[in-house]
């Protein structure tokens, strides 16, 4: 048996916890419920936080991260 708890923290973030035996959590329903309860913006912020954490663990500054910009020339065909 597992116990699930949900609340909004002081910064307005959703916090969900589940306590139980590992064998109780074999399905991914808890994870799916959590991620589906977030807005698109909250999911993007969480993903970006993972990227910056990874970059920092590699010893690099997160300030180096930015979107890749490519220059391309497009010409319209006359037809």
Closest CA relative to residue 2, chosen from 33, 41, 45: 33
Partners of 51 in the β-ladder:
none
- 24: pLDDT confidence band, cut at 50, 70 and 90? low
* Whole-structure pTM value: 0.56
As a whole number of angstroms, the distance between CA 46 and CA 39 comes to 11
Return d(Cα 35, Cα 48) in angstroms, integer.
15
The domain limits of the chain are 3-20+29-60
The model's pLDDT over 31-72, given as tens digits with 9 standing for 90+, comes to 888 889 889 998 999 999 999 999 999 998 888 887 777 777
Residue 30's φ and ψ, nearest 5 degrees, are: -65, -45
């Amino acid at each position: 048996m597992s116990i699930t708890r949900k609340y909004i923290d002081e910064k307005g973030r959703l916090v969900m916890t589940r306590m139980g035996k590992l064998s109780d959590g074999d399905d991914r329903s808890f994870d799916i419920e959590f991620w589906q309860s977030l807005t698109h913006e909250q999911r993007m912020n969480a993903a970006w936080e993972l990227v910056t954490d990874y970059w920092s663990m590699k010893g690099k500054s997160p300030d180096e991260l930015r979107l890749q910009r490519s220059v391309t020339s497009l010409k319209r065909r006359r037809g």
